[in-house]
């Protein structure tokens, strides 16, 4: 008997990085997965990785844009149709956007980043929480960021959207706790995924690996986080082992956000 035996879990942004790592962890613990991403190829790769590690895993994939409410409604309906319920939801898909100081930050870019990172998380909460309330149980993890609890710079869209995710988490957490539903957020620091690689390449396309080494020097642990470390945290928060943690925002950043 594993922590996710018989449980239905939706993961958005499951075609890469943190979503893929969480999917792998939940699948190893016998979760039944609805994996959602805009990128169909990424989803296929995630399924292949899971099947190599957990051949009996029950998985369905839904290609969807989380910024489109009708597509969000559809992935929620697909999860309920296939598995009859939703026990866990990793509301995680997100983009960084093009870095620029505020005066040069593209207004279209701002709208795009907010649309995916904030509207997408809101639509997910809206449609999944309805199901969990009716069940009288469930756990949600939203992906915020250290950029949602601290100023980072050059990221107007990302900062606004991730601070917004923190607000949505606290708001929904206090609303739905009474129905046996937990809503928490994680605030990752720099975790080595394709998104962070892209971010380092924005800083210096030629020497991004060197930039990465410099980048982690201020971190108390002097390294990037690993996607599987985030996958473990997400699995804990979704598993029921974290039953009295609600409306919390949990940094996973080697301690960097606590450093003066």
Nearest-angstrom CA–CA distance, 101 and 93: 24
**Interior angle at CA 49, CA 43 and CA 55, nearest 5:** 115
Instruction: Give the residue numbers marked as catalytic.
Output: 158
Taking each helix axis from N to C end, the angle separating 227-239 and 17-28, rounded to the nearest 10 degrees, works out to 50
Applying the rule CB under 6 A, the residues between 21 and 80 that interact with ligand NAD are 37-39, 42, 65-67
The answer to whether 47 and 95 have CB atoms below 8 angstroms apart is: no
Query: What stretches of 50-150 adopt beta strand conformation (E)?
Result: 58-63, 88-91, 138-143
Q: Which of 50, 95, 131, 181 binds ligand NAD (CB under 6 A)?
A: 95
- Centre a 10 Å sphere on the Cβ of residue 38 and count the other Cβ atoms it contains: 19
Residue 118 binds ligand NAD (CB under 6 A): no
CA distance 234 to 248: 13
Least Cβ distance, residue 180 to ligand NAD (angstroms): 26
Give the interface segment with ligand NAD, choosing from 10-18, 104-112, 128-136, 169-177 (CB under 6 A).
10-18
Task: Please tell me whether residue 233 binds ligand NAD under the rule CB under 6 A.
Answer: no
Per-residue binding string, ligand NAD, 177-196, x by CB under 6 A, is -----------x-xx-xxxx
Alpha-carbon span 257 to 253, nearest angstrom: 7
- Least Å distance, CB 134 to ligand NAD, is 25
How big is the site for ligand NAD, counted in residues (CB under 6 A)? 29
Q: Which is nearer to ligand NAD, 30 or 68 (CB)?
A: 68
* Residue that the structure tokens 């979760």 belong to: 31
> Rule CB under 6 A: which residues touch ligand NAD?
12-13, 15-19, 37-39, 42, 65-67, 92-95, 116, 120, 143, 145, 188, 190-191, 193-196
């Amino acid at each position: 008997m594993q922590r996710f035996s018989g449980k239905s879990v939706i993961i958005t942004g499951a075609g890469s990085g943190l979503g893929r790592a969480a999917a792998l962890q939940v699948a190893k613990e016998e979760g039944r997965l609805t994996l959602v991403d805009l990128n169909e190829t990424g989803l296929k790769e995630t399924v292949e990785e899971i099947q190599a590690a957990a051949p009996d895993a029950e998985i369905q994939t839904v290609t969807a844009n989380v910024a489109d409410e009708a597509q969000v409604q559809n992935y929620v309906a697909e999860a309920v149709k296939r598995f009859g319920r939703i026990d866990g939801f990793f509301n995680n898909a997100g983009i960084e956007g093009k870095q620029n100081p505020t005066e040069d930050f593209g207004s279209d870019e701002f709208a795009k980043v907010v649309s995916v990172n904030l509207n997408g998380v809101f639509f997910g909460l809206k449609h999944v929480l309805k199901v969990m309330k009716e069940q009288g149980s469930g756990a949600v993890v939203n992906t915020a960021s250290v950029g949602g609890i601290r100023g980072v710079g050059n990221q107007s869209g990302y900062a606004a959207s991730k601070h917004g995710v923190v607000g949505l988490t606290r708001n929904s957490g206090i609303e739905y706790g009474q129905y046996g539903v937990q809503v928490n957020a994680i605030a990752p620091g720099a975790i080595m995924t394709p998104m962070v690689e892209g971010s380092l390449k924005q800083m210096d396309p030629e020497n991004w690996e060197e930039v990465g080494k410099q980048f982690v020097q201020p971190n108390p642990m002097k390294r990037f986080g690993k996607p599987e470390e985030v996958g473990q945290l997400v699995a804990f928060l979704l598993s029921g082992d974290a039953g009295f943690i609600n409306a919390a925002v949990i940094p996973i950043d080697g301690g960097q956000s606590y450093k003066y």
